[in-house]
Amino acid sequence: MVILMSAGNFVCPSMSNAQEPADSKARTAPTPEQIDYFGITNPDKLSAATKRALQWKNLENDWYVQFTVKDLKGDLAYEEGIVRRDPSAVIKENGQYYVWYSRSTGPSQGFAGDIDKDKVFPWDRCDLWYATSQDGWTWKEQGPAVKRGKPGSYDDRSVFTCEIMKHDGKFYLCYQTVKSPYNIRVKNQVGLAWADSPDGPWTKSEEPILSPANNGIWKGEEQNRFLVEKKGDFDSHKVHDPCIIPFKGKFYLYYKGEQMGEEINFGGRMIRHGVAIADDPKGPYIKSPYNPISNSGHEVCVWKYNGGIASMITTDGPERNTIQWSPDGINFEIMSHIKDAPHAIGLNRSLDNESAPTAILQWGLTHQYRTGDYQYIRRFSGVNLRHHTAKGEDAK
């Protein structure tokens, strides 16, 4: 649109003289149903926004959910000086609920202090603990499940952000690992532990089951993660937030990738998800050649539904705050846009996940920051919203 200047003021020409969008001749005329649904005033005058709306594939609300979050009772209530974060999925065994999570103590100093002695992040110097509950509200902490490794091992600095899977009567915990020293360019990996009981004892893998791509090149020796000669794959710096799902006779390990020289684009941080596939829960896991499989995301939240995999994408990127679904676990399409999604969701996998797309989101666990140093675990509830009503209004 041409802007005219007159006597120091801007004057906008009338819309009758405005040009049609460049692709107007190529558009498909909306149907009478679309005209009514979208409230289109002039079907022969469609804005770019309306044209995009006409291409939306899913206009139902079965995938739309809203959340509330409340405090827990017992040992998972907020405790000053203790970090409890990144809850795993909740499972039900022996008549009670189980959850695993990252646990550390004391404040964190970042990278400005002595990284050999200090705590860099809240998830630094963590072990994996677990807790049980009869009702999902009041929890009893049961102690450590998987501890950091011995000095020199790939997990000697921290083990954190875990996920639980039960398969053929055995229990598998996958989790992030960091090896000392915890500097800015350190490359996180993924470890695995397994047990015959949710109460352990746990046997840890001697080597990581997943590592970052090895095709990025740092520039210089300075501890600066933004200086690169070559960025490499989407997961060339870190592999985070692992979750293993038995799917189509194999094991799909979903994870978050961080790239060397990470940038900010029009959607924020360039964070994307990938998947690695194995024939056995213990691996070896081979990354899919189709990676990355998302354009956005942060913590991984995936579940099986209708013969495929659903994924809730939050926090980062142009497709954040969406629920997506894939028939093959690799090629995802957006099913709904949501708001106020809880962070680091631990799904309640004891719930039915097939009756509706969001049935598994009825309740589970999440974490919340009380301060930059301390986080605690809370409980979320999700409802499939079908009406928007005013106070006192009948939605029928």
The answer to whether the beta carbons of residues 113 and 179 sit under 8 Å apart is no
How sure is the predictor about 27, in pLDDT bands with cuts at 50, 70 and 90? low
The answer to whether the beta carbons of residues 186 and 161 sit under 8 Å apart is no
The answer to whether the beta carbons of residues 359 and 352 sit under 8 Å apart is yes
* pLDDT tens-digit readout, 143-198: 999 999 999 999 999 999 999 999 999 999 999 999 999 999 999 999 999 999 99
* pLDDT tens-digit readout, 239-274: 999 999 999 999 999 999 999 999 999 999 999 999
Q: How many CB atoms lie within 10 A of CB 318?
A: 12
pLDDT for 373 beyond 50: yes
How sure is the predictor about 391, in pLDDT bands with cuts at 50, 70 and 90? confident
Q: Using CA atoms in the order 247, 248, 254, 260, what is the torsion angle rounded to 10 degrees? A: 170
Q: Using CA atoms in the order 68, 72, 77, 78, what is the torsion angle rounded to 10 degrees? A: 10
The answer to whether the beta carbons of residues 188 and 177 sit under 8 Å apart is yes
* pLDDT tens-digit readout, 334-354: 999 998 899 999 999 999 888
- Could you say which DSSP state residue 15 is in? G
Across residues 353-360, what is the average pLDDT? 93
pLDDT for 101 beyond 90: yes
Q: Which domains does the chain have, with CATH numbers?
A: 65-384 (2.115.10.20)
Across residues 322-335, what is the average pLDDT? 97
pLDDT for 16 beyond 80: no
Peptide bond preceding 144 in cis form (omega within 30 of 0): no
* pLDDT tens-digit readout, 103-136: 999 999 999 889 999 999 999 999 999 999 999 9
Across residues 376-391, what is the average pLDDT? 91
What pLDDT is stored for residue 284 in this prediction?
A: 98
pLDDT for 18 beyond 70: no
How sure is the predictor about 392, in pLDDT bands with cuts at 50, 70 and 90? confident
* CA–CA distance, 195 with 352 (Å, rounded to integer): 25
pLDDT for 387 beyond 60: yes
pLDDT for 34 beyond 50: yes
What pLDDT is stored for residue 375 in this prediction?
A: 97
Q: What is the mean pLDDT of the chain?
A: 92
Q: What is the pTM of this model?
A: 0.91
Q: Nearest-5° angle of CA 188, CA 227, CA 122?
A: 35
Range among 17-21, 25-29, 59-63, 157-161 rated most confident = 157-161
